[in-house]
Amino acid sequence: EAVLDRITAVDPLIQAYLTLDREGALRQAEQADVARKKGAAGPLCGIPLAVKDNFCTRSLPTTCGSKMLENFVAPYDATVVTKLRQAGAVLLGKLTMDEFAMGSTNENSAFTIPHNPWNRDFITGGSSGGSAAAVAADECFAALGSDTGGSIRQPASLCGVVGMKPTYGRVSRYGLVAFASSLDQVGPLTKDVRDCAILMDVISGHDPLDSTSQNRSVPDYTEALQEGLHGVTIGIPQEYFKSGLLNPDVEKVVQEGIAQLKEAGAELVEVSLPHTDYCVAAFYLIAPAEASSNLARFDGVRYGYRDCDATSLLEMYSRSRSGGFGDEVKRRILIGTHALSAGYYDAYYRKASQVRTLIREDFMKAFTRCDLLVSPVSPTPAWKLGEKINDPLALYLSDILTISANLSGIPAMSVPCGFSRDGLPIGLQLQASHFNEPVLFKAAFNLE
């Protein structure tokens, strides 16, 4: 009830929720109370959580921030939603996002554009901006997001909360509406590192319904939360700190964070990720290529929006897709379709896939010298709403520090580290080799 009151008070200003299920939440809370009294409380018993609106939920709409799915209710729950429910969580509702998770500011939503709780003139980041804002504004205790190129970590950084993109295959994507299937991963946004570990304990693990989920045992992530970093080597990628890339406040705050890690006992080494300059180009071919294929299913026949004035089948397809998708989604479909078309496939998609392998090898090589990498998450703190929305290339470039973790499949985390001179939060990014989430938790715990 306290969280629902809080939502009533602040959500008109923040605009994080697309769907709020008041009655359902109170009912679930009562059920949790019964379970607790019976001694059958799960690890999240009675905890009020919310999820980004691209996770399928049986009882609530799943819009993906798109007019295309405005009235869509999925016939099943995503595996992670089932896991939250089984752990006793109370699902408050669904959080706003960039349409089909494409964006870095959440301004691409067809419905509501959230405001940064630290200063409402500023963006939350995206595409999980609703999730980050809701956690930062105490409108839920924690949330789930999805991260294809930074969409958990970047809004977490800009809103001052913890966000983790787990290793590709660590958490089931079944019931997450696909953006780019080889890059998408589900993860938590939380108030602190311990909450993140607790949520990861609940959502991780093999799922026979997701063929890319890995059948490996799940460690207890909360056990990694220990004081001290003796014996841990932390790499500083020189390309991420080269002059001109970082806003001075971001650089200063992250350097202070690095000093804190050193003080906790970590050894620092300089490492190189020589293909960093090619990350953005590779990502913005691979992600749109996969998106153009995934979004082909939205044809006005099987799901969502249909233009009923069309007089032929082809016209119905084209008018439904023209009317149902927003500009950024259309831009990605065009880029992706072009990059996959006969005659261009080798020059664009295949080349980008080869570059992806080189980027991954950079990381594997760096991890022979260190246990984790430290860097900023976003080159700048949050910027003003509307400031860059007409400059898609500037937005794409702002993803430079986060997308390589998705291209490589490695786990990465954003931890609040300090503030800009304007009082906006700045996060620090930690990245580790595949399935090495425990070392991320350990380092993050020592930053709090």
When the beta carbons of 229 and 285 are compared against ligand GLN, the nearer one is: 285
| Residue closer to ligand GLN (CB basis): 148 or 446 | 148
Q: How far, in whole angstroms, is CA 83 from its chain's centroid?
A: 18
Residue 220 or 327: which CB sits closer to ligand GLN?
Answer: 327
Determine which one of 151, 172, 398, 414 is catalytic: 151
Q: Does 66 bind ligand GLN (CB under 6 A)?
A: no
Which of 14, 80, 132, 287 touches ligand GLN by CB under 6 A? Answer: 287
Nearer to ligand GLN, 150 or 169 (CB): 150
Q: Which two tokens stand for residue 30?
A: 């009562």
Does residue 20 bind ligand GLN (CB under 6 A)? no
**Adjacency order of strands within the sheet including 267-271:** 17-20, 90-95, 48-52, 142-147, 185-190, 162-165, 412-419, 425-432, 372-376, 233-237, 267-271
Give a three-class secondary structure readout of 48-102: EEEEECCECCCCCECCCCCHHHCCCECCCCCHHHHHHHHCCCEEEEEECCCHHHC
Of 32-40, 98-106, 236-244, 315-323, which segment contacts ligand GLN by CB under 6 A?
Answer: 98-106
- The backbone region for 423, taken as left when phi is positive above 0, alpha when psi lies in -120 to 50, beta otherwise, is left
Residue 413 corresponds to which tokens in the numbers above?
Answer: 């985390």
CA dist 36 and 278 (Å) reads 52
- How many other C-beta atoms lie within 10 A of the C-beta of residue 139? 28
151 an active-site residue?
yes
Please, what is the minimum distance in Å from the beta carbon of residue 154 to ligand GLN? Answer: 7
**Residue 398 near residue 126, CB atoms below 8 Å:** no
Q: Which is nearer to ligand GLN, 77 or 147 (CB)?
A: 147
* Given 66, 127, 414, 433, the catalytic residue: 127
Q: Contacting ligand GLN (CB under 6 A), which of 46, 114, 149, 175?
A: 149
CB of 441 to ligand GLN, least distance (A): 21
Q: Is 187 in the site for ligand GLN (CB under 6 A)?
A: no
150 binds ligand GLN (CB under 6 A): yes
399 binds ligand GLN (CB under 6 A): yes
CA 56 to chain centroid: 16
Chain residues in the site for ligand GLN (CB under 6 A): 101-104, 127, 147-151, 179, 287, 399
Catalytic positions: 52, 127, 151
